[in-house]
A and B are shown apart, each in its own frame.
Chain A
């Protein structure tokens, strides 16, 4: 079965330091991977996606993600964290057995950036 794991419930980082939010996946076939961010009382905002091509994907707000096929990982990164990056982050993979638009989400990782 298709699945996504986000092993950390919370990540704490000081403002200005680099941040990494981890994601591993299990899917049959080629993985289509996504990162979304959710602020309180808001929906999900799209950050970036990996479909094919370069393993380093650049997205919105200075975020990037590194696809690693051998480790089945898709970690989200940012070189310098901002307090305003504090939010809930979700990794997702398209379920190939569910048609075009069925996403399977990880449990989410809460990012706390401290001044």
Chain B
């Protein structure tokens, strides 16, 4: 099976712009979660989507949003970019049939905000 894929792998934006990141989960997985990784804050949960519905949300401002499509692919959007949004954004997928499922991560999208 193909793993989790994320596009693009690298992005450079300027403050005030918006950005959209894409994630394709492992085939058959219906849950997609997003995490932000920074040197200062480490790995932090952004949100989770399951069957096109946001099921959980982390403690991030409303500038961070996402959605999931009927084929389970997910996108996250960050509006009005700030310098502090520079990070590695990781997407993870799981079958989400139970709370013991393993999340499998993609390679990430490295976002740099100038």
A: which residues have CB within 8 A of B? 32, 34, 36, 41-46, 49, 51, 90, 92, 94-96, 98-108
* B21 contacts across to A, CB distance below 8 A: none
Residues from chain A with a CB closer than 8 A to the CB of B56 are: 98-99, 101-102
Classify the interface of chain B: helix, strand, loop or mixed: strand
Residue B90 interfacial (CB < 8 Å) = yes
Q: Is A32 a contact of B100 with CB atoms below 8 Å?
A: yes
Decide: A101 and B105 in contact? CB cutoff 8 A. Answer: no
**C-alpha spacing A2/B88, complex, angstroms:** 23
Chain B residues lying within 8 Å of A107, measured Cβ to Cβ, are 42
**B45 lies within 8 A of A102 (CB):** yes
CB–CB B43/A101 < 8 A: no
Contact B99 A32, beta carbon cutoff 8 Å: yes
Residues of B within 8 Å of A51, CB to CB, are 100
- B31, B44, B107, B108: the one within 8 Å of A100 (CB): B31
Q: Report Cα–Cα, A100/B42, bound state, in Å.
A: 21
Which residues in B have their C-beta under 8 angstroms from that of A108?
Answer: 42-43
Query: Given A43-B108, A45-B105, A102-B48, 11 other A-B contacts at CB below 8 A?
Result: A34-B102, A36-B105, A41-B107, A44-B90, A49-B100, A49-B102, A51-B100, A90-B43, A92-B43, A102-B45, A105-B42
Most B CB atoms within 10 A — which of A41, A42, A43, A95? A43
